[in-house]
Amino acid sequence: MEDSSSNTILHMAGMLTEHTPIDHIRGAALQMQREVQWFKEVEHICPLSCKERLNRDGLTPKQLFTATHQKLKERGEKWMKGTATSSTVVGALVITITFAAAFTIPDGNNQDTGLPILLDNKLFKIFMVTNTMSLFSSSTSVLTFLGILTARYAEEDFLTSLLKRMIIGLFTLFFSITTMMIAFSSALLLILRGQIWFVAPIIGLAGVPIILFALMQSRLLFDMVVSTYGPGIFDRKMKAWL
């Protein structure tokens, strides 16, 4: 079945008009992902003949989708690259801090053995483990965001590939900041042993960056996880009507 312009149902799914209900979705990349999801879902239920049928303008459904979604794809690319660039800067700073902290050991090394003096101290072990975890996770985050910056940004990439990288990058960045603050608190307790009244407020303030990052990025991260790994637009488990 076709309309007056020879558009099939797949052509209609490939159109982006002012009445397309995606304004409630946060971020152009998620909007583009929803549009690709919608087109793919309709494509799955259409006859094969619809996929290559031309409308009055001589466009297949896929070509019509590309033409009408060009601006949205550019906005999505701009949004993802801007987010990845700013997050890369933060990740690089965490790498610099944690790498330097790994060789700045509290209380120094034993002159005879070269091993850290506090090697058997539990707080020192916590410091080394969390600092190492922060270094590795921030490095993973930076490499993931670099992958976003160098992606080709094809329409299909918005379906899972780009959003999956963004989820991994934001999660590892949050994890690196959290473990960096734990390492800082452990080092502070080692240096100022017996001064709990002085150390406790500082450790409390160390949690502020973690809380701020969680408040600012948790909603976005949640939306991306649900949109990428959640149920599809159509409920395929729905029972057929009798």
Tens digit of each residue's pLDDT (9 = 90 or more) over 83-102: 999 999 999 999 999 998 87
d(CA 100, CA 220): 32
Helix axes of 122-149 and 70-102: crossing angle, nearest 10 degrees: 150
User: How far is the C-alpha of 124 from the C-alpha of 118, rounded, in Å?
Assistant: 6
Residues 152-169, mean pLDDT to the nearest whole number:
91
CB atoms within 10 A of CB 74: 13
Q: How distant, in Å, are the alpha carbons of 36, 70, 73, 160, 209 from that of 16?
A: 11, 10, 11, 20, 40
Give the pTM: 0.84
pLDDT digits (tens, 9 = 90+) for 170-218: 999 999 999 999 988 888 888 777 677 777 787 788 888 888 888 888 8
User: What integer pLDDT is reported at residue 241 of this predicted model?
Assistant: 42
Q: What angle do CA 180, 182, 183 make, to 5 degrees?
A: 65
Residues 220-238 pLDDT 10s: 888 889 888 877 666 555 4
Q: What is the pLDDT of residues 107-142, one digit of tens each?
A: 666 676 666 666 677 888 888 899 999 999 999 999
Instruction: State the Cα–Cα distance between residues 107 and 117, nearest whole angstrom.
Output: 7
Centre a 10 Å sphere on the Cβ of residue 148 and count the other Cβ atoms it contains.
24
Q: Closest by alpha carbon to 91, among 149, 127, 140, 163? A: 140
Residues in the chain: 242
- CA–CA separation, 127 and 174 (whole Å): 18
At 49, list the tokens.
């003949």
Measured between alpha carbons, how far is 175 from 171 in angstroms, rounded to an integer?
A: 6
8-state DSSP, 156: G
pLDDT digits (tens, 9 = 90+) for 187-200: 888 877 767 777 77
Alpha carbons 175 and 157: distance in angstroms, whole number: 26
Task: Render pLDDT for 19-45 as a digit per residue (tens, 0 to 9).
Answer: 666 666 778 888 889 889 889 888 888
Q: Which residue type, as a one-letter code, is found at position 214?
A: A
